[in-house]
Protein backbone atom coordinates (compact mmCIF):
# COMPACT_ATOMS: atom_id res chain seq x y z
CA UNK A 1 0.00 0.00 0.00
CA UNK A 2 1.38 3.38 -1.04
CA UNK A 3 -0.78 5.76 1.05
CA UNK A 4 0.10 8.67 -1.25
CA UNK A 5 -1.73 11.86 -0.39
CA UNK A 6 -2.79 13.66 -3.53
CA UNK A 7 -3.16 17.41 -3.87
CA UNK A 8 -6.57 18.90 -4.69
CA UNK A 9 -5.16 20.05 -8.05
CA UNK A 10 -3.41 17.20 -9.86
CA UNK A 11 -0.86 17.67 -12.61
CA UNK A 12 -0.90 14.86 -15.16
CA UNK A 13 1.26 13.68 -18.01
CA UNK A 14 -1.06 11.61 -20.16
CA UNK A 15 0.90 9.97 -22.95
CA UNK A 16 3.12 13.07 -23.15
CA UNK A 17 0.26 15.57 -23.04
CA UNK A 18 0.30 17.76 -19.93
CA UNK A 19 -3.00 18.30 -18.15
CA UNK A 20 -4.21 19.69 -14.86
CA UNK A 21 -7.44 18.68 -13.18
CA UNK A 22 -9.03 18.35 -9.78
CA UNK A 23 -8.60 15.23 -7.70
CA UNK A 24 -12.39 15.30 -7.31
CA UNK A 25 -12.72 14.99 -11.11
CA UNK A 26 -10.41 11.98 -11.30
CA UNK A 27 -12.25 10.23 -8.46
CA UNK A 28 -15.79 11.26 -9.47
CA UNK A 29 -16.74 7.71 -10.51
CA UNK A 30 -15.83 5.65 -7.43
CA UNK A 31 -15.93 2.37 -9.41
CA UNK A 32 -13.46 3.54 -12.07
CA UNK A 33 -9.82 2.65 -12.43
CA UNK A 34 -9.01 6.37 -12.09
CA UNK A 35 -10.65 6.49 -8.66
CA UNK A 36 -8.68 3.41 -7.66
CA UNK A 37 -5.43 4.88 -9.02
CA UNK A 38 -5.90 8.12 -7.09
CA UNK A 39 -7.18 6.51 -3.88
CA UNK A 40 -3.72 6.21 -2.36
CA UNK A 41 -3.86 2.40 -2.48
CA UNK A 42 -1.66 2.15 -5.58
CA UNK A 43 1.70 3.44 -6.70
CA UNK A 44 1.39 5.78 -9.68
CA UNK A 45 4.42 6.51 -11.81
CA UNK A 46 5.57 10.09 -12.10
CA UNK A 47 7.44 11.76 -14.93
CA UNK A 48 10.76 13.55 -14.43
CA UNK A 49 8.93 16.74 -13.41
CA UNK A 50 6.79 15.05 -10.76
CA UNK A 51 3.54 14.87 -12.74
CA UNK A 52 1.47 11.72 -12.37
CA UNK A 53 1.86 9.64 -15.52
CA UNK A 54 -1.07 7.90 -17.21
CA UNK A 55 -0.14 5.69 -20.15
CA UNK A 56 -2.95 6.65 -22.51
CA UNK A 57 -3.44 8.78 -25.60
CA UNK A 58 -3.67 12.30 -24.18
CA UNK A 59 -5.96 13.51 -26.96
CA UNK A 60 -8.49 10.79 -26.13
CA UNK A 61 -8.10 11.27 -22.39
CA UNK A 62 -9.31 14.87 -22.74
CA UNK A 63 -12.73 13.46 -23.64
CA UNK A 64 -12.63 11.26 -20.53
CA UNK A 65 -11.89 14.29 -18.34
CA UNK A 66 -14.61 16.35 -20.00
CA UNK A 67 -17.12 13.58 -19.40
CA UNK A 68 -16.11 13.44 -15.74
CA UNK A 69 -16.20 17.23 -15.43
CA UNK A 70 -19.37 18.08 -17.34
CA UNK A 71 -21.02 14.85 -18.47
CA UNK A 72 -20.36 15.74 -22.11
CA UNK A 73 -20.09 12.99 -24.69
CA UNK A 74 -17.41 12.95 -27.38
CA UNK A 75 -18.27 13.74 -31.01
CA UNK A 76 -19.71 10.81 -32.97
CA UNK A 77 -16.53 10.32 -34.99
CA UNK A 78 -14.60 9.72 -31.74
CA UNK A 79 -17.20 7.46 -30.08
CA UNK A 80 -15.51 4.17 -30.91
CA UNK A 81 -12.06 5.25 -29.70
CA UNK A 82 -13.46 6.80 -26.53
CA UNK A 83 -15.57 3.72 -25.89
CA UNK A 84 -12.41 1.60 -25.78
CA UNK A 85 -10.72 4.03 -23.38
CA UNK A 86 -13.85 4.20 -21.19
CA UNK A 87 -13.93 0.38 -21.00
CA UNK A 88 -10.24 0.36 -20.07
CA UNK A 89 -10.77 2.85 -17.23
CA UNK A 90 -14.04 1.13 -16.21
CA UNK A 91 -16.06 4.33 -16.55
CA UNK A 92 -19.43 2.57 -16.74
CA UNK A 93 -21.59 5.70 -17.06
CA UNK A 94 -19.61 6.70 -20.17
CA UNK A 95 -19.53 3.12 -21.49
CA UNK A 96 -23.32 2.90 -21.16
CA UNK A 97 -23.83 6.27 -22.84
CA UNK A 98 -21.59 5.33 -25.76
CA UNK A 99 -23.18 1.89 -26.25
CA UNK A 100 -26.08 3.61 -27.97
CA UNK A 101 -23.87 5.24 -30.60
CA UNK A 102 -24.21 3.71 -34.05
CA UNK A 103 -20.46 3.11 -34.41
CA UNK A 104 -20.22 1.18 -31.15
CA UNK A 105 -23.40 -0.78 -31.88
CA UNK A 106 -22.05 -1.70 -35.31
CA UNK A 107 -18.77 -2.99 -33.90
CA UNK A 108 -20.56 -4.88 -31.14
CA UNK A 109 -22.83 -6.44 -33.76
CA UNK A 110 -19.82 -7.52 -35.81
CA UNK A 111 -18.22 -9.02 -32.69
CA UNK A 112 -21.43 -10.88 -31.80
CA UNK A 113 -21.69 -12.21 -35.36
CA UNK A 114 -18.05 -13.26 -35.28
CA UNK A 115 -18.56 -15.04 -31.96
CA UNK A 116 -21.60 -16.92 -33.27
CA UNK A 117 -19.86 -18.14 -36.44
CA UNK A 118 -16.89 -20.37 -36.83
CA UNK A 119 -13.73 -18.65 -38.09
CA UNK A 120 -13.93 -19.95 -41.69
CA UNK A 121 -17.57 -18.90 -42.01
CA UNK A 122 -16.78 -15.45 -40.63
CA UNK A 123 -13.80 -14.96 -42.96
CA UNK A 124 -15.92 -15.97 -45.98
CA UNK A 125 -18.66 -13.49 -45.05
CA UNK A 126 -16.09 -10.75 -44.44
CA UNK A 127 -14.35 -11.37 -47.76
CA UNK A 128 -17.69 -11.45 -49.61
CA UNK A 129 -18.67 -8.12 -48.03
CA UNK A 130 -15.30 -6.54 -48.88
CA UNK A 131 -15.56 -7.84 -52.43
CA UNK A 132 -18.95 -6.19 -52.81
CA UNK A 133 -17.62 -2.95 -51.39
CA UNK A 134 -14.64 -2.88 -53.75
CA UNK A 135 -16.95 -3.68 -56.67
CA UNK A 136 -18.74 -0.37 -56.11
CA UNK A 137 -15.87 1.60 -54.57
CA UNK A 138 -12.66 0.35 -56.20
CA UNK A 139 -9.33 1.00 -54.50
CA UNK A 140 -7.19 3.78 -55.89
34 neighbors 27 (Cβ within 8 angstroms):
yes
Concatenated DSSP letters of 54-72? E-S-HHHHHHHHHHHHH-P
Strand ranges (E), 31-122: 52-54
Which among 48, 21, 16, 17 has a CA at the least distance from the CA of 37?
21
State the DSSP code for 6. P
Q: Which residue has the higher pLDDT, 79 or 28?
A: 28
Q: Which residue has the higher pLDDT, 75 or 14?
A: 14
pLDDT of residue 130: 78
Q: Give the span between the Cα atoms of 84 and 66, in whole angstroms.
A: 16
pLDDT in tens, 87-118: 999 999 999 988 877 666 776 677 777 777 77
pLDDT band at 5 (very low <50, low <70, confident <90, very high): confident
Q: What percent of the chain shows pLDDT beyond 70?
A: 86
pLDDT of residue 129: 79
From residue 57, alpha-carbon distances to 13, 64, 85 in Å are 10, 11, 9
Mean pLDDT across the stretch 38-43? 91
pLDDT of residue 8: 96
pLDDT of residue 1: 41
Give the end-to-end CA distance of the chain in Å, rounded to a whole number: 56
pLDDT of residue 140: 55
- pLDDT(137) > 80: no
pLDDT of residue 127: 82
Amino acid sequence: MDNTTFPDVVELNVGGKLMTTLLATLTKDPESMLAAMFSGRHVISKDKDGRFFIDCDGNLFEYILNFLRFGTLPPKEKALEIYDVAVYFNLQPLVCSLKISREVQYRRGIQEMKNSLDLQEYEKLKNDALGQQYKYFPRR
